[in-house]
Amino acid sequence: MGSHVIDTSPTNGRGGWVPYYYWPSLAAAIIFVILFAVCSAIHIYRLFKYKGWYFIPFVIGVLFQMVGYAGRIGSHYDFYSLTWYIMQSLLILLAPALFAASIYMTLSRIAIALHAENLLIIRAKWLTTFFVTGDVLSFLAQSAGGGMMAGGDPESADRGQKVVMGGLFIQIFFFGGFIIIATLFHSRLNKSPSHVHEKIKGRKYLFTMYFANGLILIRSLFRVIEYIMPHDGPLMKNEAYLYIFDALLMFAVVVVYLVVKPYGDLFDEWKRRKDLGDLELTRR
């Protein structure tokens, strides 16, 4: 990395525009491509084995991460390529929104499987709809803003940055609300004598959800700070921050859902109740 000189002067043939203020690390990108590739293979296998289709967005997010870091390998060899830059920028940016979509669908499934949907402050029927809708809005805003930022035009990039920040704030807002609702549900579950046995089974899924939510929230805050700071600020100039506050955190989210499978007995019970028509959500 140190042997490369990046020309940011207006006479560099691109009006001074450069995709990065550092030369993308080949080794770091390769490591994370391999890590996410292995994890995606395991997640895909389990997805089909357990038929946990609600986790499809999450698995697509893992693939986004893998291809995104492959784009950084391309940028290492072809620094000024807009194609590689757009690929890595958009896919790495958007992957956590896909993780969030599946995580939002987890809470209602936990509540229904534990026969405790009455402890939710929002009906289980609407819980997933509300938060996934917010996640879609966040995803679309970040997609649109990321596309504008990747265009290379300074004015368009500035507008795109503001749109991305708006999308990230939407993501943070809905994540914060989701954590509050999940915490209240957990508290009510702990206080409910009729759910003592069920709460023991559900505890690991709830704590896994908290862990994943927390990491995605930290990552989103990092991205907001990154975009608030000047284009040539320390976060943009030091690639290590990307790997510490984005790649590593998102890899931890992917791994925790390998350790604690988002399927198993708890979700078999959810499916059983669903198949038996025992949800009665429309009457609550």
d(Cα 73, Cα 28) in Å, to the nearest integer? 9
Q: Are 43 and 58 in contact (CB under 8 A)?
A: yes
Tens of pLDDT along the chain (284 residues)?
444 655 554 445 455 568 898 999 999 999 999 999 999 999 999 999 998 899 999 999 999 999 999 999 999 999 989 899 999 999 999 999 999 999 999 999 888 888 888 899 998 889 999 999 999 999 999 999 988 876 656 778 788 889 999 999 999 999 999 999 999 999 998 887 555 556 556 788 999 999 999 999 999 999 999 988 877 788 889 999 999 999 999 999 999 999 998 887 777 777 777 776 654 544 44
User: Could you tell me the residue ranges of all domains in the chain?
Assistant: 97-275
CA angle, 194 then 124 then 177, to 5°:
100
Which pLDDT does position 218 carry in this prediction?
96
d(Cα 220, Cα 92) in Å, to the nearest integer? 12
d(Cα 22, Cα 6) in Å, to the nearest integer? 7
d(Cα 206, Cα 186) in Å, to the nearest integer? 8
Distances (CA, A) of 231 to 15, 36, 224, 239: 15, 28, 13, 13
d(Cα 126, Cα 107) in Å, to the nearest integer? 12
Angle in degrees, 0-180, between the axes of helices 82-113 and 248-259, rounded to the nearest 10:
40
Which pLDDT does position 1 carry in this prediction?
45
State the CB neighbour count (10 A cutoff) for residue 140. 15
Task: Give the number of C-alpha atoms closer than 13 A to the C-alpha of residue 101, restricted to the C-beta side.
Answer: 22
